[in-house]
């Protein structure tokens, strides 16, 4: 499935100008059909999978209990 620059910007939650810049830097693959750039949606699949992994990792870290007894010596 191909997306326009506007649809891609909405998908990635970034301004259209950033998407255009990434296309020109060849960091996002796109085809120019003579009028507009078309971006294949599948190239972002790995990006979103990694985001999900990081979200789960952060949830795990945040859900770890804080130890009740911290062995800290007070020097006062």
Whether residue 55 is contained in a domain is answered as yes
Whether residue 69 is contained in a domain is answered as no
User: Is residue 73 pLDDT above 90, yes or no?
Assistant: no
Q: Using CA atoms in the order 60, 62, 65, 71, what is the torsion angle rounded to 10 degrees?
A: 120
User: Is residue 8 pLDDT above 70, yes or no?
Assistant: yes
Number of domains in the chain: 1
Whether residue 31 is contained in a domain is answered as yes
70 — pLDDT class (breaks 50, 70, 90):
low
User: Is residue 72 pLDDT above 70, yes or no?
Assistant: no
Whether residue 6 is contained in a domain is answered as yes
What's the token pair of residue 38? 């078309």
pTM over 0.75: no
User: Is residue 76 pLDDT above 90, yes or no?
Assistant: no
Domain that residue 26 falls in = 2-63
């Amino acid at each position: 499935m191909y997306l326009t620059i506007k649809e891609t910007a909405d998908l990635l939650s970034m301004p259209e100008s950033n998407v255009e810049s990434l296309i020109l830097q060849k960091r996002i693959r796109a085809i120019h059909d003579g009028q507009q750039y078309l971006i294949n949606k599948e190239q972002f699949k790995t990006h979103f999978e990694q985001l999900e992994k990081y979200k789960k990792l952060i949830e795990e870290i945040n859900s770890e209990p804080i130890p009740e007894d911290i062995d800290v010596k007070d020097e006062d």
